[in-house]
Amino acid sequence: MVNENLGAICNARMVHANLSDYGAMDENCLQLAKYTALAVDFTKTGKTVALPTHLKPKMYPDFMGKEEYQMHKSTKILGEMLMTKKWQPLQSRIMLPVTSHMIWIWRLMELPIL
């Protein structure tokens, strides 16, 4: 069972938070948070949640890269952080599993555990 609306609801919440002076505390965001909780529970309840048309974004912030839609330049910190060239996405870093041997060596060397 897959709920195809969860991503759309979460993206809509991010768009509304980015546009509003109230951020995530915007009334639309709070309403979308309730829809998100219901959509997450889809596998337990079997109830699908649709994104209401009045909450569907008309335009997207530039950092979301939705070029097929109308976009605006984000002035919020999230937009600035994601659009800067210095920011490196976590996916592009090499991730290695930490083993108990590494922790033992870090403690032996008195290095902070990451």
Structure confidence at residue 55 (pLDDT):
96
For 31, counting Cβ atoms within 10 Å of its Cβ (0-12 exposed, 13-18 middle, 19+ buried), the class is: middle
Res 109 pLDDT > 90: no
Matching residue, tokens 């759309």: 8
Which pLDDT score, from 0 to 100, does residue 94 have? Answer: 53
pLDDT tens, 19-51?
Answer: 999 988 999 999 999 999 999 998 889 889 999
Neighbours of 26 (CB within 10 A): 17
Mean pLDDT of 90-104: 56
Residue type, 22: Y
Question: How far apart (Å, rounded) are the C-alpha atoms in residues 17 and 29?
Answer: 6
What is the share, in percent, of the chain residues with pLDDT greater than 90? 35
DSSP letter (8 states) at residue 23: G
**Domain spans of the chain, in order of start:** 4-87
